[in-house]
Amino acid sequence: VLKDKYDSDIPRTVEELCELKGVGPKMAYLCMSSAWNEVVGIGVDTHVHRISARLGWTQKECKTPEATRKALEAWLPKDRWREVNMLMVGFGQQVCLPIGPKCGECL
């Protein structure tokens, strides 16, 4: 598909990236940022989704990562979108664990 449709490159839009097998919104937003240096959205995975809810960064309960992405983008300054995923993934793997979070190390 990439060879035939995109001249052996990758698509330049989130929509086209999401049409590729195995690529969802999170990877599409991260790819746009890394490959094309275009920050058009926040890549929300399980860590960003969980931690955003714990910190109260979303106004309502977001049941999906896409709902979390939209809620975060509604208030977070766009110049901060690029780093959200990278910072929260490490934090979620080491400190803000899904079970037994180390709140004492954070707060």
Handedness of CA 34, 29, 74, 94 (dihedral sign): negative
- The CA distance from 41 to 54, in Å, is 21
- The CA distance from 83 to 33, in Å, is 10
- The CA distance from 5 to 36, in Å, is 18
DSSP, res 41? S
26 counts as catalytic:
yes
- Side chain identity, residue 88: M
Catalytic residue among 21, 26, 63, 78: 26
Catalytic residue numbers? 26
